[in-house]
Amino acid sequence: MATLLPVSSCPIPTQPVNLADFKGKRVVLYFYPRDSTPGCIKEACAFRDAYADFQAQNVVVLGISTDDAKSHEKFVNKLNLPFPLLSDEGGKVAETYDSYRLKKFMGKEYVGTSRNTVVVSPDGTIEKIYKKVKPELHAAQLLQDLT
């Protein structure tokens, strides 16, 4: 059974979140690079706009990046996000789910979070992994796949 390492949740950054907290529900863990960047805004807004549909299917949506809780709080408030963003400072959770790796941008290499999504079944097993998703289309694709 997959377990999230303790991370903080916005807006209460001191409270750890674990997959066991959501037993009996399907969980969407969407990993994204950075708060308030163009692709991440598109992806977060797509999940926000489809959130009622995810709830109707008893699906929990959790966004995860290496940004700190203060950054997440600003991002949540700016976009009026109805789901929690988890702070994975150091990328340990993302690394566990093969979403923290060497990346290239404008000829430079660095380690960062890949835009991947993991769907965890109600019994806690990994149901499906989506790699290198398209931010603006991903939430709709997920909803289609989950029905």
Q: Tens digits of per-residue pLDDT, 49-90?
A: 999 999 999 999 999 999 988 899 899 999 999 999 999 988
- What pLDDT, on the 0 to 100 scale, is given for residue 9? 44
Q: Is residue 92 part of a domain?
A: yes
List the chain residues with pLDDT less than 50: 1-3, 5-13
78 CB-near residues (< 8 Å, 6+ apart): 36
Q: Is residue 20 part of a domain?
A: yes
- What pLDDT, on the 0 to 100 scale, is given for residue 18? 85
- What pLDDT, on the 0 to 100 scale, is given for residue 112? 74
- CATH for 75: 3.40.30.10
Q: Is residue 1 part of a domain?
A: no
In the chain, the number of structural domains is 1
pTM value is 0.86
- What pLDDT, on the 0 to 100 scale, is given for residue 16? 78
| Strand stretches in 6-116, DSSP E | 8-9, 12-16, 26-31, 59-65, 85-87, 100-105, 108-113
- What pLDDT, on the 0 to 100 scale, is given for residue 125? 92
Half-sphere exposure of 84 (CA within 13 A, CB side): 20
- What pLDDT, on the 0 to 100 scale, is given for residue 80? 92
Q: Which residue has the tokens 């965890």?
A: 120
Give the active site residues.
40
Specify burial of residue 43 (Cβ count, 10 A radius: 0-12, 13-18, 19+): buried
Domain that holds residue 96: 8-146
- What pLDDT, on the 0 to 100 scale, is given for residue 7? 46
The answer to whether 47 touches 63, Cβ cutoff 8 Å, is yes
